[in-house]
Amino acid sequence: MEPGPWGVCEEMAILHGAFLLASRLVQPRALSELRKNEWPLVGPPITDALKEIGSRCPSPPQGSLWKKEAVAIVWAKVLLPAPPAASLDQEWREDAFFSVGRMIPDVNHTVLFELVKALGEPRHFVQLLLALPHAVRRNELQRLVQYVASEMSPSDIRFLLDVWWEMMRHEEGQEDRTVSTFSTLVHQHGGESSPDDGLQPPKRFKGDPGSLSGSPAATSLLMVLVEGLKETYRSIAQPRMKCCALANLVELLSAFTELAAEGSPLPVTEYLEKVSSVVSLWSSDTESQYHNRALDEQVKEAERSVSFSSLAKLSREELFVGLDFLSSLLHAWGVELQGILNSSEDPCYESYRLLDALTAFRKNLVCFSENGGLSKDEMHKAIELPQTIEDFLKEISTSQKSKDSDTSLVSSVAMTIIEQKLHRHAEMCSIFASEEAWVFSNGWVDCLVKNKELFQKPELVLKLLQTLVNFAKSCRDREAREMQMQVTKAIVECYSELSLPDKNQVISGVLASWGGAGLSLNLQVVVEGFQEDLNVTFNQITKSVSDEGLTRAVASVARLTLLYPEATVKQVCSLAVVNLGSHQFLAQILCSLPALSFLETHDDPGRPRSLVVRCLKEAVWEKLSAAREKEQFLEFLAFLMQPSSAAPLVSPAEVTKAFVLPYLKSDCAQTELSLQILSKVLGIQSYPEEDWIKSCHPFPLLLSLCRLLDGYTKYWHQPRDQPFPSLETKDLVLSTLGQLCEVVRPEAAPSPEVWVQSLAWLHRKVASLDWTVGLRLKKFFGDHFKNEVPATLFEICKLPEDEWTSQSLPAYGPGSGLLAWMECCCVSTALRETMLTLLVVNMDNPEEVNLFSKGFLVALVQVLPWCSHSEWKRLVHVVTNLLERQVLHVPYTLEYVQYMPLLNLRPFAHSLQLSVLFLRGFQLLCSSSCSSWLPTEAWLHVVQLYCGSLTDLLSSIKSPAGSPSQPPEARSPAEEVSFVCIQMFCHLLHVAAMLPPDSGCGEPLVVVALEILSQYEAFSSADKSPSSVLRRANERHFLESITDNVGDQELRGTLLQKLGKLGA
């Protein structure tokens, strides 16, 4: 049975029998009258009974608990008076101690003290003593001192010194059930010992100064022990006991007074060395009580011996009483101890403890005396004693002052502290993880594997990794590799249990130590099988793309990143591009690991670069081919720069330097993608570093965009074997230039002077480009420079000379004013409106209007092939504006009309004029005079612009049809729209017929033609007039006859098929 809240049990019966036998042996007197010299007669039955109980216990610790139980029961019997006979009937019901107490005869303190001595368990005595009420514990300790001083023997003195030592080593909060039961019992009964022990309060030591008789300071438990030593020290003869007594006193004065350094425990390495030294001494000292104990028990006790707990500190008065006594003891015993210590080859634990305590105490005392606040007498004592200690220590040989422990013992002690989770085991883990001298013994590996949970801290994981790498560098045999695998697995398991912020801390440490290669740089065991692990992990991740799977995915990627960061990041980047729809999920994973924002220095510390950007560049940049891949790459990159709920992983500056600056050249295959990236970068809002653009050479970047625009002015004359961004990309260049001009502000320059110099530099560079490029920087240049345009523009515009200046350009001779004007209209919406406002045409002069209209058509044809989609839209707006203002004269002929239409076409006049203007433009463009002007590749672009305008025109003619200017009964708007659709269809077929046969423009023409026919069908079907059926039949026949004349067989066949379905 386990010892418990005291009840009658088999073990208690054995103890009961032992006490009955002891009572008979001492008759006719009672055990409550036992004298010290009678214990050898009555003690053996009691101790033998406890040995028997211990032998029945399944484990030694349980046997030790029964010893404590026995001491507690005896002590309770001493303290608690027997109940009067009249109350027995009530006591057995209410008193938990009643049954057990009745089994033990009345005893006195002699039985208690001798029992504790015989059991050799001063720790049990101290635990129970400190569980007593304050007044009772002091009285009990005083009784012990009195008992030891009476008929003194070496074992009594040893017992007193051991109790003293245990009191200093006592740890609060370690009370077990026995101590708690004992404390509760005594507190309930207000236990005071019987005065019939024959023990009186202890006498004061009269031969020594500083007696505290009558002083409040004498109430301190520790001072009771000091007073006890004063009464017994003359009887101490053994050198070991003298060392122990002195060590007790010195440690008491060091740790339990104001000399103790507050909140500054020993450094953990020094602490480990001390514990190891103590264990080493006990192991080699056959007289030590701990000599034959197991290592874990030795370490536990050694830990308690080098760190003291929190008993109340002595007062200043008590401190100086103790200092006086220590000084007298050193004078009394010093010479004898010096001789004995120097004659001994190996130090014993007591001598080691004394010399170590004196060395530390002397330092503390010197610091104490230097801090001031002492009286003259106190200062004298505080200065004199360190000198006495120094004189004593300098006569001791060095071999006695320290005990060096071998490495294997120190490592074993550290591992025992960790495995048993003893005091300061957490700090010990740090030493264990980084002490390379211990590494990779079987014990080290086993300790790590068994205690992984203690190493689940980022700093410990990093230390273990560093130790692992260092070991791998020095040991490469097969056995070492197997150990590496085992240790790597254990470390990864520790890492896997960390929180995500802690994992990031570890990844940061790995990158700082070994760069992007991480552990793979030095650990071959990491590289082996890594690619397979990588593939399997990411296959699982890409199959479970969801918010729920994000946490698991981040944990998996974090584990791979720990082992081989750059390989993991490259895999993420590759999958983000090729795996449809997973790019944002993968970007979220990377952004969950902010440690990957690591900047590599490589061979150029002054120019760090982003690990993620490098991995992107190496893994996917040169491999992007499909449009979908480029799109996913762009979105992936944008998310890394601006994630929804995390810090950016890459900065706009890093992205610009890596993917934009080297590629903004007209002959580079990646130019278009770089432009898209730059546009994304410039579109990022509220980036933490607002002036990031300063590090990206903003003015050369502006110039690069300007040069690209300049290249478009010669687009159709560029060598076809050289890559150049398509005309579809021109709008992207224009919008990106506008974005960049918004971002690059004067505040980005170091000073206003530098800003002006930079503007002047850019203006000089742009002056060598096409003149329209400078106009695009009009807003950026501000008032620093005038707008420079061809001189002929002044002939048709009223340009303010304070803002505009002319330049002589050979390409703009007489009559080119409209061409320059139209190119200005293409630059921007604002400049287009300005040009429309400043245009001068004398409407009162018919000849001038005719000349203007003819010149306008020629200029339009000249500009058209070089227009981007946005520029062409601006020009179409210009045409519409001029038609509405009737400045532009475009006569409409009825060449595709069989009969005079009796319709209201006024709402559609401008639409019809615009369609005719497009036709006239193609007639000019396809004429013999212009036949060799455009290369074959240009025709498709021109036709695409034309078809786009027709599509817009189709959308616009619905509006007049829905807003009639006449009452519904007077007209049918559907008839007018049908007529306009027929005209546009005929114009388109006319254009198709004029195009060069190898122009490759069939597809856009077919699409728009079918769209026109669909709209015609919708409106003509809506016409419910009586003649609508006949009219539709006539119109279908007309359209079929026109279509029959189309030369392109494919176009003709498709359109006839569509016409055949009309009205079916």
The predicted-structure confidence for 175-216, as pLDDT tens digits, reads as follows: 888 898 888 888 887 655 554 454 544 433 333 333 333 333
- Range in 329-343, 497-511, 811-825, 935-949 with the lowest mean pLDDT: 329-343
Distance, in Å, from the CA atom of 661 to the CA atom of 665, rounded to the nearest integer, reads: 9
Give yes or no for residue 1047 having a pLDDT over 90.
no
> Which of 78-92, 177-191, 1027-1041 is predicted most confidently?
1027-1041
CB 563 within 8 A of CB 518: yes
Give yes or no for residue 868 having a pLDDT over 70.
yes
Which pLDDT does position 189 carry in this prediction? Answer: 76
Give yes or no for residue 463 having a pLDDT over 60.
yes
Which pLDDT does position 196 carry in this prediction? Answer: 46
CB 895 within 8 A of CB 990: no
| pLDDT band per the 50, 70, 90 thresholds, residue 332 | very high
| pLDDT band per the 50, 70, 90 thresholds, residue 76 | confident
Give yes or no for residue 87 having a pLDDT over 60.
no
- Range in 76-85, 315-324, 377-386 with the lowest mean pLDDT: 76-85
Beta bridge partners of 163: none
| Predicted structure pTM score | 0.80
Which pLDDT does position 571 carry in this prediction? Answer: 95
Q: Among 668, 745, 672, 669, which residue's Cα sits nearest to residue 702?
A: 745
Identify the burial level of 487 via C-beta atoms within 10 angstroms of its C-beta, where 0-12 means exposed, 13-18 middle and 19 or more buried. buried
Beta bridge partners of 881: none
**Alpha helix locations (H) across 620-751?**
627-641, 652-659, 671-682, 698-712, 730-743
Which pLDDT does position 439 carry in this prediction? Answer: 76
DSSP 8-state symbol, 227: H
Q: What is the mean pLDDT of residues 226-231?
A: 93
Q: What is the mean pLDDT of residues 562-587?
A: 93
Centroid of chain to Cα 11: 59
Which pLDDT does position 12 carry in this prediction? Answer: 77
Which pLDDT does position 960 carry in this prediction? Answer: 55
| pLDDT band per the 50, 70, 90 thresholds, residue 260 | confident
Which pLDDT does position 886 carry in this prediction? Answer: 93
Q: What is the mean pLDDT of residues 2-15?
A: 65
Q: pLDDT tens, 613-653?
A: 999 999 999 899 899 999 999 999 999 998 887 888 999 99
Per-residue three-class SS string for 878-902: HHHHHHHCCCCCCCCCCCCCCCCCC
The larger pLDDT score, comparing residue 421 to residue 901, is at 421
Label the pairing between strands 609-610 and 787-790: unpaired
Give yes or no for residue 599 having a pLDDT over 80.
yes
| Cα-Cα-Cα-Cα dihedral sign, residues 271, 274, 276, 279 | negative
Q: CB neighbours (10 Å) of residue 802?
A: 8
Which pLDDT does position 970 carry in this prediction? Answer: 43
Residue 420: CA count within 13 A, CB half-sphere: 18
Q: pLDDT tens, 884-941?
A: 999 999 998 878 887 777 888 888 999 999 999 999 999 999 998 887 888 888 999 9
Q: What is the mean pLDDT of residues 430-444?
A: 83
CB 161 within 8 A of CB 240: no
Does 239 sit behind a cis peptide bond, omega within 30 degrees of 0 on the bond before it? no
Q: Which long-range contacts (CB under 8 A, 24 or more apart) does 962-968 make?
A: 963/907, 965/904, 965/906, 965/907, 966/904
CB 737 within 8 A of CB 709: yes
CB 1059 within 8 A of CB 1043: yes
Give yes or no for residue 688 having a pLDDT over 90.
no
Give φ, ψ of 804 to 5 degrees. -120, 145
The larger pLDDT score, comparing residue 204 to residue 373, is at 373
Distance, in Å, from the CA atom of 175 to the CA atom of 135, rounded to the nearest integer, reads: 20
CB 583 within 8 A of CB 640: no
Share of the chain above pLDDT 90, in %: 52
Q: What is the mean pLDDT of residues 556-580?
A: 94
Q: pLDDT tens, 509-565?
A: 999 999 999 999 888 888 888 999 999 999 888 887 777 788 899 999 999 999 999
Which pLDDT does position 54 carry in this prediction? Answer: 79
Give yes or no for residue 816 having a pLDDT over 90.
yes
Helix (H) or strand (E) holding 442: helix 442-450
The larger pLDDT score, comparing residue 83 to residue 795, is at 795
- pLDDT mean across residues, the chain: 86
Local structure of 59: helix, strand or coil: coil
Q: Which residue's structure tokens are 């319709």?
A: 903
Identify the burial level of 106 via C-beta atoms within 10 angstroms of its C-beta, where 0-12 means exposed, 13-18 middle and 19 or more buried. middle
Helix (H) or strand (E) holding 599: strand 599-600
Centroid of chain to Cα 302: 40
Q: Among 341, 313, 340, 155, which residue's Cα sits nearest to residue 232?
A: 155
The larger pLDDT score, comparing residue 1022 to residue 635, is at 635
Give yes or no for residue 453 having a pLDDT over 90.
yes
Give yes or no for residue 71 having a pLDDT over 70.
yes
Beta bridge partners of 788: 805
Which pLDDT does position 311 carry in this prediction? Answer: 63
Beta bridge partners of 634: none
Which pLDDT does position 812 carry in this prediction? Answer: 92
Distance, in Å, from the CA atom of 398 to the CA atom of 394, rounded to the nearest integer, reads: 9
The larger pLDDT score, comparing residue 611 to residue 187, is at 611
Which pLDDT does position 820 carry in this prediction? Answer: 96
The larger pLDDT score, comparing residue 931 to residue 1007, is at 1007
Rg value, the chain, Cα = 51
Q: pLDDT tens, 946-967?
A: 999 999 999 998 765 544 444 4
Beta bridge partners of 805: 788
Residue 781: CA count within 13 A, CB half-sphere: 20
Which pLDDT does position 151 carry in this prediction? Answer: 86
Q: pLDDT tens, 385-414?
A: 999 999 998 888 765 556 666 778 899 999
Which pLDDT does position 593 carry in this prediction? Answer: 95
